[in-house]
Structure 1
Amino acid sequence: MAGIRSLARRLGGAAWFANTGRILVPADRLVGRLTGGRVVALGIVPSLLLTTTGRRSGQPRTQPLLFVRDGDGWVVTGSNWGQTHQPAWALNLLANPRATVTVKGRQVPVEAHLATGAERDRLWQLVTTEWPPYEAYVKRAGGRDIHVFRLTPTKS
């Protein structure tokens, strides 16, 4: 698995890889749901399922995302595979920061915090160490600021 992960990290910045990844997200979401969140992104990279509340629909929306741990929380980025617009889930979190993460089959209620300044710089370093292609996504997005969220567990 380490070899596949290394290969994915090397190829991840290519536009064709991002296009393929975007196409596979619905299948990844389905596999995540069917396995109760125990298998996401085929186990190649650390991934979770993030369930937000749709800002317009009010309905639950679930998205598989790469994450890194930061203390008791998780860090996710609104890279949208390098597209020029923010992903819907990030806009949902900005409208309502309460969400749920499912990691390895365990559901945890969280509150999202949009990182800024020095905190964002620190968290960006964490996520780009795990997934270097994020740097290519910034370039492909025309320098758009990619949101970095810290998801902190809550009691309910």
Structure 2
Amino acid sequence: MSQEQKQGGRKKGSPSALSLWFQRKMNARTTGKVRRKGGKYLGMDLLILHTTGRRSGVARETPITWFADDDGWLVVASGGGKRDPDWYVNLMAHPEQAAVEVHGSPAVPVTPHRLAGDDHAQAWQHITGQQPRYAKYQQKSAREYPVVRLARK
């Protein structure tokens, strides 16, 4: 019997149905607060990222921290350090369907660009200059956090 069969069809380390349900409830709650408060929540600037589920095809809305960039918005796919967050995997699977809401404005279609090399390094320096906790999070993880630029279409 494989490890996946032992866990009821889930891969080792993947979230349970209960944790996914809880995460979606918390995302919906936080999304409502972000819309009411104009993008500020717990002292952070949040945007609402619109993606489409990579397997389900269901529209998803995820509140995430963003950082200003000349070409759009920068977001970090930290996912708690262990794995890519669902929003990131969905975004990369269906980049043509991505949009963002910022400060209560209507959703704006965006094109995601995963940064690499010097672009990643420069963006990472900008991000950690504004939020040093990201550098601390990165030090605790074996994987390099993806940084994505969300550029207006």
Instruction: Please tell me the TM-score bracket, short chain as reference.
Output: 0.7 to 0.9
Cross-structure match for 1:90: 88
Q: 2:47·2:101 contact (CA, 8 Å) conserved in 1?
A: yes
Gaps (5+ residues) in structure 2?
Answer: 1-21
Cross-structure match for 1:152: 151
**1:124 and 1:29, CA in 2 relative to 1: closer, same or farther beyond 3 A?**
farther
SS in 1 for 2:139: helix
CA RMSD in angstroms comes to: 2.3
Gaps (5+ residues) in structure 1?
Answer: 1-22
SS in 1 for 2:56: coil
**1:38 and 1:153, CA in 2 relative to 1: closer, same or farther beyond 3 A?**
farther
SS in 2 for 1:63: strand
Cross-structure match for 2:99: 100
Q: Distance in 1 between matches of 2:145 and 2:137?
A: 9
SS in 1 for 2:119: helix
Q: 2:31·2:61 contact (CA, 8 Å) conserved in 1?
A: no
Cross-structure match for 2:129: 129
Q: Distance in 2 between matches of 1:148 and 1:118?
A: 12
TM superposition score normalised by structure 2: 0.75
Tell me which of the two structures has the higher relative contact order, counting C-alpha pairs closer than 8 angstroms and 6 or more residues apart: 1
User: What is the CA deviation profile of residues 71-117 of structure 1, one whole-angstrom value per residue up to 9, with x for unaligned ones?
Assistant: 140000001133x1110111112212131111101121111010001
Cross-structure match for 1:54: 53
Q: Distance in 1 between matches of 2:110 and 2:36?
A: 16
Q: 2:33·2:41 contact (CA, 8 Å) conserved in 1?
A: no
Q: Larger C-alpha radius of gyration, 1 or 2?
A: 2
